[in-house]
Chains A and B, each alone.
Chain A
């Protein structure tokens, strides 16, 4: 019960958030945080639920961002269509890339996805006539305003875009819940537990792994599209390997294989730089140390730990917390 009250409280807080704050800057951060939550949730599907680390999430985010931007600038598509179509571009790219890479397991797979991210990055930097190279693509339009009578939703306004991204995040959460609780989700978790056993039980694991990979990449692509039309400008930099590592960090910190962990993790990776107002170099060292410590001492991540703590505080022992959703 407390659990649902908490969830409702968080949702209510998220809706009220822009009205509680006067500074545009915090709304800006919140939008970025929610976009990263979508990326992290994608990473969670392949990493947390399936047990395969993909270091290509930022690259796929880039494919989504560039395809949506180019569809709206060059091909003249309405922005709404571009945002909805771009995850499919990402899906196709990840399908082509995933097929050979999923022939290998464990570390091999991680390294191959890392290489994939580098290839995407190199193409973004070098395919200058299309991507604008390192200088990037300026002038990406915001979604067309929605006018209902006298009422207008203008997405150039930051508050309005905040609600768009919030709705997108809610949609992604519902999708992920649906997948994780379906038979497919169970198979994915079986693969994480023991792939050989799952294979022996007659499951064609590669199909499920490929689905998981493509699904997680599509979420990243969707986030990329939202990012592009928010920032109005994109360049290759945010789609580099470093940012893929950030997504992995978010999942690990928050708690991999939990529904809410990646949200906590992504919020932290956006908020920490603002809170730790030290030089970036020191901050990244703190990240690194945090990562090592969390893996050694809190291998399940922060969210399950917090959930346990809160259960302890509220004196409940029915196990209906995060653990049930692992």
Chain B
């Protein structure tokens, strides 16, 4: 029983770490620009496909391919911000939301045309399985936890310790004041979109390695991401981390101890519960806002 409990906890943390990566990108964008960037999941899938493509056609390894795809994803993010979101920055928020829906359609379906309808599994070669006292730890899942942790730490350092990070925090806290202080808000917006999209691509690659990159995956991913945001508090980085892990673990435990049929409902029950009793989210807005 204890073995199963630990096994399920591990299963849940791995899924949760992916949710965290998705939610981090969403939460930074929301914190700075107040945009619910719906197309984030499609960007993540785009990155996953691209990584697969690099591995297959350039013959380079997983990590170089992933890094290249993250750069490409960051560029895509910057372009989206410039072309689509920037023109409506002063319009009512509903406009940005509709734009996000339009972008989702465009990117999602472009993925279909570029990469086909078949599911794509990113080959890693990490096939070993470690076992400690009956609990099995597949090599790939362990690496996913590690990669997610490294990215989260890197992001925290970037936001907390660098000049650009300081500018980002300043804009999040008080946009007019930041402008008065001479911070280039346009540059910050582009930076934030690039950074978030790169994180999203990383999440897409991990999903593609552990499961598959395929049509229909992105919407599930982005909705889980938003559930995490509501759980943790919109715009909060610690909230995204805690919320993501919490969501992953509760889904897994729900499958194990309640019913596998309604595991996806758990996210929404948690969300509605939080809205009712703690509408500002489990963690108070901090880091970016």
Contacts and interface: CB of A to CB of B under 8 A. Distances in A.
> Do A and B contact each other directly (Cβ–Cβ < 8 Å)?
yes
B94 interface: yes
Nearest to A123: B265
B99 A295 contact: yes
B2 interface: no
Interface string A100-135: 110110111011101110110011001000000000
Nearest to B225: A111
Given A107-B30, A281-B113, A296-B88, A248 B98 contact: yes
B106 interface: yes
Contacts of B93: 106-107
Contact of A114 (B91, B105, B226, B272): B226
B102 A116 contact: no
B97 interface: yes
A101 B230 CA distance: 12
Question: What class of interface size applies to chain A in its complex with B?
Answer: 35 or more
A122 B91 contact: no
Nearest to B261: A126
A220 interface: no
B58 interface: no
B3 interface: no
B271 A112 contact: yes
B53 interface: no
A47 B97 CA distance: 12
A119 to B, nearest CB: 5
Contacts of B87: 296
B263 to A, nearest CB: 9
B223 interface: yes
A291 B95 CA distance: 10
Contacts of B219: 241
B271 A292 contact: no
Interface in A35-71: 47, 51, 53
A287 B234 contact: no
B109 A107 contact: no
Interface in B98-120: 98-99, 101-106, 108-110, 112-113
B29 to A, nearest CB: 11
Which of B101, B110, B112 lies at the interface centre, i.e. has the most chain A CB atoms within 10 A of its CB? B101
Interface string A254-294: 00000000000000000000000000011011011111100
Nearest to A291: B102
A281 B108 CA distance: 9
A107 B97 contact: yes
A74 B88 CA distance: 50
A238 to B, nearest CB: 16
Interface string B252-274: 00000000011011011001100
A299 interface: yes
Contacts of B95: 295, 299
Contacts of B226: 111, 114-115
A111 B230 contact: yes
B279 interface: yes
A292 B261 contact: no
A326 to B, nearest CB: 14
Contact of A112 (B88, B264, B275): B275
A106 B92 CA distance: 10
A245 interface: yes
A100 B113 contact: no
Nearest to A99: B276
Contact of B105 (A47, A112, A116, A285): A285
A34 interface: no
A101 B272 CA distance: 8
Interface in B217-263: 219, 223, 226-227, 229-230, 234, 261-262
B223 A118 contact: yes
Contacts of B103: 288, 292
B138 to A, nearest CB: 28
B23 interface: no
- 7 smallest CB-CB distances across A and B, nearest first, come from A288-B105, A291-B102, A288-B106, A292-B102, A107-B36, A115-B268, A288-B102
Interface of B: 30, 34-36, 84, 87-88, 91-95, 97-99, 101-106, 108-110, 112-113, 219, 223, 226-227, 229-230, 234, 261-262, 264-265, 267-268, 271-272, 275-276, 279
14 contacts: A100-B272, A100-B275, A101-B275, A107-B30, A111-B229, A112-B271, A112-B272, A114-B223, A116-B268, A118-B268, A119-B268, A241-B223, A295-B102, A296-B88
Given A53-B97, A281-B112, 20 more contacts: A53-B98, A104-B279, A112-B271, A114-B226, A115-B223, A241-B223, A281-B109, A284-B105, A285-B105, A285-B106, A285-B110, A287-B105, A288-B102, A288-B106, A289-B106, A291-B99, A295-B88, A295-B95, A295-B98, A296-B88
